Structure 1
Amino acid sequence: MLTTQYVPGAPNWLDLGAPDIDAAVAFYGGVFGWTFQSAGPDAGGYGFFQLDGKTVAGAGPLTEEGASPAWTVHFHSSDVDALAKTVEQAGGTVRFGPCDVFTAGRLAGFTDPAGAEFAVWQPVDVQGMELVGASSAVCWTELHTTDAAAAKDFYRTVFGWETVDNVMGEHLVYTVASPTGTDPNGDAGHAGIMQLPAESLAAGSTSEWHPYFAVEDCDATVAASTQRGATVVVPAEDAEGIGRLALLLDPFGAPYALLTPSPR
């Protein structure tokens, strides 16, 4: 599970790149009840989604050439510059940075060998998200990849993740990852890795990270999302021992998932 006790390798920030920030604020405000606080006149339109006064994510206009609307998962690092070298040595690429973000921290963006984009945040003044694991906040991260075996090797090399494979159904292998020295199947698990099935690959799916937002009622939140312009990719369905989940695209095309967790 995600917590705000951030350690190296764990997700510690999440942000949305969107072509229209005002429209994004209206959409996510309507779905999750978030408000938006600007980061100031020098931040280029970037700001913070908040719930009850606590930051749940960031959002800003698309800045990279050719970038598509997307949620970007950031992972904690105590040394972004050293990690950038490790990413390249492991077969990934540096999209931008490392760079300082005012006095908040140090940032870099990467692409893994299969094409999934992610980022790394080295905290200074801003440690990370202030609310996770609660209703209307991110509760899980998940990588859908064209090469699960290579992805596991890459992220273990870069972050030192512990991983364990869980067989679900007849053919699906779902890998759970956690920070180094922890038990992935325990409370420290923070990410899932799964191979894209053949039908998804044939349909043109590519490797990407998805955030999961916890909600009280998955079906009701799917309805609230579609009423505001979202598209359903995977309809709400039950996952044994996990909860009820769905995958959607927001009105701009950014993927996100919903999860109503099973009672523990």
Structure 2
Amino acid sequence: MPVRHEVWPAGTPNWVDLSAADPAKAAEFYASLFGWTNEASGVEFGDYIMNFKDGEAVAGIGPKPVPEMPANWSTYLASDDADATATAIQAAGGTLQMDPFDVGEFGRMFFAVAPDGASFGIWQAKQHTGATRYNEDGALAWNELHSNDLDAARAFYTAVFGYEYDDLTNPEFTYFVAKRAGETAGIGGMCGNEMAPPGTPSHWLTWFAAADCDAATARAVELGANQLMPPTDSPFGRMSIVAGLEGEMFGLIDVATTVGEMPDAAGS
């Protein structure tokens, strides 16, 4: 079972959380779907809910910062120095949604927007290293950018994090697997946004592992979710996309055939 308590290498997706109008109801949904247990952090930390799978951290759920914001799953990328990363993001053409700030003794963070319009978080770990259980049923498996300007996005993440790419493009779709410089393991995917409805903004999509994609998708619908893409065989494994109770999109993918994996404890 993949478990990691060390700090994730810079540039690696290391955490995901959901911004919801009703965090408590959302937490109940995901607990029923994935078998998570939930722990409220209290008013001091904005009533943020930590989600655990078999005692290990897997995700967070918190209130939307502004009511008009749509509910969504956010991807965080690891940083060894959040302030330096903020400077690099601005130099590469991105914008900050807020300045870096401390979250108690847990870490330092901020949100930014890349030149293609996709929002993402930065997490510099202190006591909270990010996801400690991953790549197994009910845990984070993959993070994927769906971009309306893939060339600009790739150049941006290379400038900020030094990403290199494996090109898996074929006649049916354009797809790149991002890697940390000099490494072979993929840390995330990047593709175009052409298959989304017109007007869909660039966004990072969170994928959770499912031991049985069909059963997990059916269970999500039973709990009130909407199926956006039915369970489908792909070169990367059997996968589906659903929308949670507030319309937040996430993917489900068969753990046995996931396209890539987060780095191991050695960062390789």
1:200 alignment partner AA: A
Instruction: Decide which of 172, 188, 202 is 1:191's aligned counterpart.
Output: 188
Whole-angstrom CA distance in 2 between matches of 1:254 and 1:91: 27
The answer to whether the 8 A contact 2:144-2:190 is kept is yes
Following the alignment from structure 1 to structure 2, what is the Cα–Cα distance between the partners of residues 261 and 131? 13
**Pairwise CA distance, 1:249:** 1.0
Output the CA distance in 2 between the equivalents of 1:38 and 1:69.
19
Distance change >3 Å, CA 32–CA 231, structure 1 → 2: same
Distance in 2 (CA, whole Å) between partners of 1:200 and 1:25 is 27
Which string of whole-angstrom CA distances, capped at 9 and with x for unpartnered residues, describes residues 48-101 of structure 1? Answer: 011111110111101146422111111110111111111111111101230000
Q: Which runs of 5+ in 2 are unaligned?
A: 259-268
Q: Could you tell me whether the CA contact under 8 Å between 1:3 and 1:133 is conserved in 2?
A: no
Q: Could you say if the C-alpha distance between residues 219 and 80 of structure 1 is closer, same or farther in structure 2, counting changes exceeding 3 Å?
A: same
| Structure 1 unmatched runs, 5+ | none
Q: Give the one of 243, 250, 260 matched to 1:249.
A: 243
Letter of the 2:135 counterpart = G
* Closer/same/farther in 2, CA of residues 157 and 35 from structure 1, 3 Å limit: same
One of 144, 147, 155 as aligned partner of 2:146? 144
User: Structure 1: which 4+ aligned runs deviate by more than 6 Å?
Assistant: none
Is 1:210 the equivalent of 2:212? no
1:3 Cα offset (Å): 7.2
Any conservation in 2 of the 1:10–1:75 contact (CA below 8 Å)? yes
Counterpart for residue 15 of structure 1:
17
Give the conservation status (yes or no) of the 8 Å contact 2:40–2:50: yes
Cα contact 2:136–2:255 (8 A) shared by 1: no
User: Which of 27, 30, 44 is residue 28 of structure 1 equivalent to?
Assistant: 30
Q: What residue is the counterpart of 2:174 in the other structure? A: 173
Correspondence 1:215-230 to 2 at 5 A = 215-230=210-225
Could you say if the C-alpha distance between residues 3 and 175 of structure 1 is closer, same or farther in structure 2, counting changes exceeding 3 Å? farther
- TM-superposed CA distance for 1:31, in Å, is 0.7
Q: Deviations over 1:176-230 (max 9, x none)?
A: 00222212xxxx2111000111x535x2221100111111111111111111111
Identity score, percent: 34
TM-score, L = length of structure 2 = 0.90
Secondary structure of the 2:186 match is coil
Q: Is the strand fraction higher in 1 or 2?
A: 1
- Report how many aligned residue pairs link the two structures: 255
Distance 2:208 2:252 in 1: 5
Shift in Å, 1:23:
0.8
Match of 1:155 in 2: 157
Question: Taking structure 1 as the reference length, what is the TM-score of the superposition?
Answer: 0.92
Conservation of the 8 A alpha-carbon contact between 1:244 and 1:262: no
Q: Residue deviations 1:108-153, cap 9 Å, x none?
A: 1011111111011011111111111111000111011101111110
